[in-house]
């Protein structure tokens, strides 16, 4: 065997049958002997084979000389997507035959020999057409789907971005990559978990929803800075942005405050941001939960466009419109609006005068003026008005706002720049929310380990519903891509919240309570979801 | 909030409550104001608190001044392992009070203020004693166990070594880190798999034993170079070196041969080798399976010491010793020996003349001489002789050899240097072995995807039991730490092996056969097990 040690200064091809990759060849290789391995992309005019590997395409010149008819025939007999090894010499393409669209378009390789490494049977579809095919077919022939440039780009982008994240955390900031178990005990509360039967009848492992408890215990263990690309499981069926198994960048830090975690994450994303996605600025803007709900009607606002919610009660002061009067009289009653620029011009439903909504026609001229001014509406804009309890009005207008943006984009009105990335922190969430099925009871807005905002801590004992949590969500273009918190490190505070406020059985978490009592440092962390990559991929596909 | 962006050039402490870590302080910090966070290791003479964080220990001087009696009392009231934040000024220790054994022993910190971040209840054991306690107790209080310097070292060593491996693969050699699913279909053959019930009654996922099929499909997909730190599952109960879930460094490469994979792995291990483990040399020596069995009686020889198996048949030519004669007459009959240096001196059982084994006494003087010479035995050495079929004799002496080494080490005879790492490739394994329960049938020595050695491929159709596989095991100090092979990339060869030789149902692998027929490149790879770290940890604990 011909053995060469791979040292760090040797290139990619030292342990390969090839001497070069297809995509790297350029004029500087002219006159070099090369050995290439790859797939037959297509044959052209019986003269050329276009050869593909992960790095790109290169044109192979089939010899036309009579003495090489055997080699020529071998080339002409190739089926598309067959795997070959070609030896040949690089030459500059004849003048006028360069292909500017091809990165190797200045050169071609004159084949001197060729070996068929594997023959490809007839494929169900052409590779380049594949991404247009149905999801089911793409999944069935996943190995063909992944040959497309887009899928190759996606997989490589993910690998590189994750690697940069690891460098930042591990090499630059002293984080320890710790793998936590996935076959473990059930976590109380949270999502439905997959179970794994053991050999012991009636005994099951659970697959974890997240390593939340493990990472807190690692902080108690003095690891100081933990991270993991953690596989998580939720038995909740697949949705486009949620699958039964997914990976999160899981981080936990000791002796840190909320600002510290947020700064670290900004540094992390800044460091790992792909170059081809353009400039990204840090720090990210930050917004309270209350501001997000007030202005956007949602806790993960897409801040790439306006159409903010506005309170238009002034225009309806003393209104005689019955259903609005009624709505305003009820507890939390309000009247709010969003203004859709060019909304009447672009949508067909409200372009005739007869369709102008009744509410507007019922207003006095002064009120009309007030409304238009408050909504900052111009001619051709569309105003949606909603009256009702605040907790209904906000989410409703929030959804309407997003739907309008989508609708306008369908009509060709640019609303959101697809090349732009708006990162946003949302902070000051309530620590508890009324239970949906029993509004007298409280449940954790996120999870029961989130610490209260220090200045609100005394309210735990008197008005727990008013306590804000030290929770922070990271939002990108309207998608929640991460969430975290400073955790409770005091055993008695944790016990009080579990037992007295949430009415949960603290014995299920006795191991955690015991750990908090054994010298737990103040700590906090975050989990960044796969959705970062999802957002990148979505942007790219537009 | 005080927000500072973490940039790559900022140090570890920028998003932390502390200004420095305990362990980093030295004379160059003298006169600096520092803020430290950590655990109370112990109090000394009511004068000092020894503070610990992940980086090490530092001595805090408790103020003795009357005006600071409150602070002094707060210090004196601390329980061991409580978590505190101390502000103070670094000073050089008074002359003669330096502690050479402590890396921060030149300095101490004069406390100016102290905050108790968390109080520690009385612990079941002292942290430094913990590693001596029972496994069960260590697992129950894992967060205390991990506070010990040894466990901290182990976790950080693993994290750093894995990071170096990623750098080598991803940054230097163009590998793509791809996460493969863990909730998937059952793999035919192999170990018992864990199942995960789905919502659909009677339908189950399986947790994979390894990503073997996924990585082969990734090669068919043109990923070219894949790696993953892959979580694997085997439902086989826990053993000291095998747990139900474990992680392997999983690698697969297209357009590569056996020498290429081996070189890459040598480069990988060389690059990621921990500095404090001393020099390591590449390339690793390599040995055929036949040589390993012949000389060491095992396919993963510990080459740190001799005591090789020797054939001593010459000394017994024409012997009249009945049971040896019998053994030699049977098919494969042989007589072999190992020589244990100083074996009679150190072991009690054979130190009197009456105990010298009968076989030796039955030999003629010439035969005795021959035996001693063949075994290269000196006075005081012990020779073990075994007669029987070759396939029994070798493993028996192989085990005996290891047991002798352990026994001698127990008696204080140095046999294996615990600071030495002997890497070794074992190659040229048989592709098939007779089935244990039906020796007329063949089964794969490793798995059915291993390609035959090219020059043996024709034997597949005539004498399959003689075919060697392109399989390679990596052995370290007698532990198998990795194994891999060049895979079959030809669909009809794969089908022939599954169907005709192994008599397995090829329809269970129809997806793989179809993929091989869709332009599969030649490919091969390896999986390195957790046992690398195990070996390192074991060496360290000696």
Domain A305-415 sits in CATH at 3.30.1360.30
- What is the per-residue pLDDT across A271-312, written as a single tens digit (0 to 9) for each? 999 999 888 899 999 999 999 999 999 999 999 999 999 999
pLDDT at B537 over 70: no
Nearby residues of B235 by Cβ (< 8 Å), 6 or more positions away: A199, B191, B192, B193, B194, B244
Closest approach of A28 to chain B, Cα-based (Å): 22
CATH 3.40.50.1370 assigned to B12-118? no
CB pairs under 8 A between A and B: 289
Q: How far apart are CA B201 and CA B424, in angstroms?
A: 49
pLDDT at residue A450 above 90? yes
pLDDT, position B243: 83
pLDDT at A1 over 50: no
For chain A, the C-alpha Rg in angstroms (whole number) is 30
Q: How confident is the model at residue A192 (pLDDT cuts 50, 70, 90)?
A: confident
Chain A residues closer than 8 Å to B145 by CB: 221
pLDDT of residue A2: 38
The whole-number pLDDT of residue A384 equals: 93
Domain chopping of chain B, boundaries: 12-118, 174-284+425-534, 305-415
Mutate to test the interface with B, among A159, A182, A242, A288 (most CBs of B within 10 A): A159
Give tens-digit pLDDT for A373-393. 999 999 889 999 999 999 999
- Residue B19 has φ and ψ, to the nearest 5°, of -95, -30
Residue-by-residue DSSP string for B165-214: HHIIIIIIH--EE-PPPSSBPPPSSSS---EEE-SSTT-EEE--S-SHHH
Tell me the sheet residues that pair with A286. Answer: A425
Q: What is the mean pLDDT of residues B277-300?
A: 95
Domain B174-284+425-534: homologous superfamily in CATH:
Bira Bifunctional Protein; Domain 2 (3.30.930.10)
pLDDT confidence of B515, banded at 50, 70, 90?
A: very high
**Higher pLDDT pick, A388 / B355:** A388
Query: Given this model, what pLDDT does residue B359 score?
Result: 77
Cβ atoms of residues A162 and A193 within 8 Å:
no
Which pLDDT band, with edges at 50, 70 and 90, does B11 fall under?
A: very low
Instruction: Count CB-CB contacts under 10 A for residue B437.
Output: 7
Q: Which of B281, B247, B147, B214 is nearest to B528 (CA)?
A: B247
Q: Can you give the pLDDT at residue B380?
A: 87
SS3 state of residue B164: helix
- Decide if pLDDT at B379 tops 90: no
Number of H helices, E strands in chain B: 16, 20
In the predicted model, is pLDDT for residue B6 greater than 70? no
Q: How far is A475 from chain B (nearest CA, A)?
A: 18
HSE on the CB side for A116, CA within 13 Å?
Answer: 17
B421 three-state secondary structure = coil
Question: Is pLDDT above 80 for B356?
Answer: no
Please state, in angstroms and rounded to a whole number, the distance separating the CA atoms of residues A323 and A300: 31
A10 pLDDT tier (thresholds 50, 70, 90) = very low
Measured between CA atoms, the residue of chain A closest to residue B152 is A223
Beta strands in B295-447 (DSSP E): 310-311, 333-340, 382-389, 423-427, 432-435, 438-444
Question: Is the CB of B244 less than 8 angstroms away from the CB of A183?
Answer: yes
- Give the whole-number percent of chain A exceeding pLDDT 70: 90
pLDDT digits (tens, 9 = 90+) for A145-181: 999 999 999 999 999 999 999 999 999 999 999 999 9
Convert the pLDDT of each residue in B25-71 to its tens digit.
999 999 999 999 999 999 999 999 999 999 999 999 999 999 999 99
What integer pLDDT is reported at residue B498 of this predicted model? 95
Distance of CA B479 to the CA centre of its chain: 7
> Band of the pLDDT at B542, cuts 50, 70, 90?
very low
pLDDT at A241 (0 to 100): 67
Mutate to test the interface with A, among B138, B248, B255, B491 (most CBs of A within 10 A): B255
Residues of B in contact with A495 (CB under 8 A): none
Residue B532: what pLDDT? 57
- The set of residues, in sequence order, having a beta carbon less than 8 Å from that of B125 and lying 6+ positions away, is B133, B137, B141, B144
Distance CA B340, CA B474 (A): 27
Residues 500-519 of A with CB under 8 A from B: 515-519
Q: Find residue A337's DSSP bridge partners.
A: A310, A385
| Option in A53, A118, A160 nearest B489 (CB) | A118
User: From A247, which residue of chain B is nearest by alpha-carbon distance?
Assistant: B179
Give whole-number Cα distances, B394 to A125, A265, B291, B408, B450, in Å: 55, 58, 11, 21, 26
Identify the CA nearest to A518 among candidates B455, B250, B142: B142
Average pLDDT over every residue of A481-497: 97
Cβ pair B121:A263 closer than 8 A: no
> Which B residues 35-74 touch A at CB under 8 Å?
37, 39, 52-54
Minimal C-alpha gap between A184 and chain B (Å): 11
Average pLDDT estimate for A317-324? 86
Nearest to A519 among B118, B172, B222 (CB): B118
Tally Cβ neighbours within 10 Å of residue A38.
31
Give the C-alpha distances (Å, rounded to integers) separating A389 from A253, A268, A312, B278: 41, 41, 14, 71
What is the spatial distance between Cα B79 and Cα B40, in angstroms, rounded to a whole number?
A: 7
Q: Which of A3-17, B111-125, B339-353 has the lowest mean pLDDT?
A: A3-17
Q: Above 80 in pLDDT, residue B326? A: yes
Q: What is the pLDDT of residues B457-503, one digit of tens each?
A: 999 999 999 999 999 999 999 999 999 999 999 999 999 999 999 99
Residues 6..35 of B with a Cβ closer than 8 Å to A: which?
6-8, 10, 12, 14-18
Q: B456 by DSSP, 3-state: which?
A: helix
Searching chain A, which residue's CA lies closest to the CA of residue B218? A143
The answer, for A200 touching chain B at a CB cutoff of 8 Å, is: no
In chain A, what residues touch B288 (CB-CB under 8 Å)?
none
Query: Mutate which of B222, B263, B491 to test chain A, going by most A C-beta atoms within 10 A?
Result: B222
Q: What is the mean pLDDT of residues B433-449?
A: 92
- CA–chain centroid gap for A497, Å, is 32
Indicate the fold that domain A151-275 takes in CATH: BirA Bifunctional Protein; domain 2 (3.30.930)
Share of chain B above pLDDT 70, in %: 90
Chain B CB contacts of A516 under 8 Å are 118
Contact A255 B14 (CB under 8 A): no
Kindly state whether A280 is in contact with chain B, defined as any CB-CB distance less than 8 angstroms: no
Distance between A336 CA and the closest CA of chain B, angstroms = 32
Q: Is B162 touching A (CB cutoff 8 A)? A: yes
Q: What is the ipTM of this complex?
A: 0.92
| Interchain contact B104–A (C-beta under 8 A) | no
- Nearest C-alpha neighbor of B93 from the set B85, B81, B102, B82: B102
Q: Is the CB of A195 less than 8 angstroms away from the CB of B196?
A: yes
Which of B519, B523, B525, B529 would best serve as a mutation to test chain A binding (most A beta carbons within 10 A)?
B519
Supply the pLDDT for residue A188. Answer: 72
B residues 312-331 lying closer than 8 A (beta carbon) to A:
none
Tell me if chain B has a CB within 8 Å of the CB of A428. no
Residues A118, B177: C-beta atoms closer than 8 Å: no
Mean pLDDT of chain B: 90
Q: Does A490 touch chain B (CB under 8 A)?
A: yes
User: Does B242 touch chain A if contact means CB atoms closer than 8 Å?
Assistant: no
């Amino acid at each position: 065997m011909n053995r060469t040690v791979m040292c760090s200064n040797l290139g990619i091809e030292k342990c390969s049958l090839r001497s070069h990759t297809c995509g790297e060849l350029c004029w500087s290789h002219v006159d070099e002997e090369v050995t290439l391995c790859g797939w037959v992309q297509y044959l052209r005019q019986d003269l050329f084979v276009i050869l593909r590997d992960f790095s790109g395409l290169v044109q192979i010149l089939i010899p036309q000389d009579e003495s090489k008819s055997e080699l020529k025939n071998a080339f002409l007999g190739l089926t598309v997507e067959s795997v070959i090894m070609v030896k040949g010499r690089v030459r500059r393409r004849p003048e006028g035959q360069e292909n500017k669209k091809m990165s190797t378009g200045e050169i071609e390789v004159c084949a001197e020999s060729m070996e068929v490494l594997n023959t490809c049977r007839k494929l169900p579809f052409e590779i380049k057409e594949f991404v247009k095919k149905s999801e089911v077919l793409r999944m069935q022939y996943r190995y063909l789907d992944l040959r497309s440039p887009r899928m190759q780009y996606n997989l490589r982008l993910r690998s590189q971005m994750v690697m940069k994240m690891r460098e930042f955390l591990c090499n630059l900031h002293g984080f320890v990559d710790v793998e936590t178990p996935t076959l473990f005990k059930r976590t109380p509360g949270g999502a439905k978990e997959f179970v794994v039967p053991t050999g012991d009848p009636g005994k099951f492992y659970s697959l974890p929803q997240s390593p939340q408890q493990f990472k807190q215990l690692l902080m108690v263990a003095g690891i100081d800075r933990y991270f993991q690309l953690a596989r998580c499981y939720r038995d909740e069926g697949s949705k486009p942005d949620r699958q039964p198994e997914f990976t999160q960048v899981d981080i936990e830090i000791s002796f840190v405050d909320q600002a510290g975690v947020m700064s670290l994450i900004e540094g992390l994303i800044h460091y790992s941001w792909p170059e081809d996605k353009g400039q990204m600025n840090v720090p990210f803007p930050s917004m309270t939960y209350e501001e997000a709900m007030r202005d956007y009607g949602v806790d993960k606002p897409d801040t790439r466009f306006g159409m903010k919610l506005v309170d238009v009660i002034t225009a309806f002061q003393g209104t005689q419109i019955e259903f609005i009067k009624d709505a305003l009289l009820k507890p939390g009653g309000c009247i709010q609006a969003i203004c859709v620029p060019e909304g009447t011009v672009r949508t067909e439903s409200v372009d005739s005068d007869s369709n102008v909504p009744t509410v507007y026609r019922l207003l006095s001229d002064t009120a009309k003026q007030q409304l238009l001014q408050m909504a900052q509406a111009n001619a051709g804009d569309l105003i949606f008005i909603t009256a009702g309890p605040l907790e209904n009005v906000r989410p409703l207008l929030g959804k309407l706002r997003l739907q309008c943006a989508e609708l306008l984009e369908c009509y060709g009105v640019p609303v959101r720049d697809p090349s732009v990335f708006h990162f946003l922190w949302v902070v000051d969430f309530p620590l508890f929310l009324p239970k949906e099925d029993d509004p007298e009871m409280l449940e954790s807005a996120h999870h029961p380990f989130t610490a209260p905002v220090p200045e609100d801590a005394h309210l735990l004992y008197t008005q727990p519903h008013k306590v804000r949590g030290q929770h922070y969500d990271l939002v990108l273009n309207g998608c929640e891509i991460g969430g975290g918190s400073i955790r409770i490190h005091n055993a008695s505070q944790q016990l009080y919240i579990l037992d007295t406020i949430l009415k949960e059985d603290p014995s299920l978490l006795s191991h955690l309570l015991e750990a908090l009592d054994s010298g737990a440092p103040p700590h906090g962390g975050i989990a960044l979801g796969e959705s970062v990559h999802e957002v990148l991929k979505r942007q790219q596909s537009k």
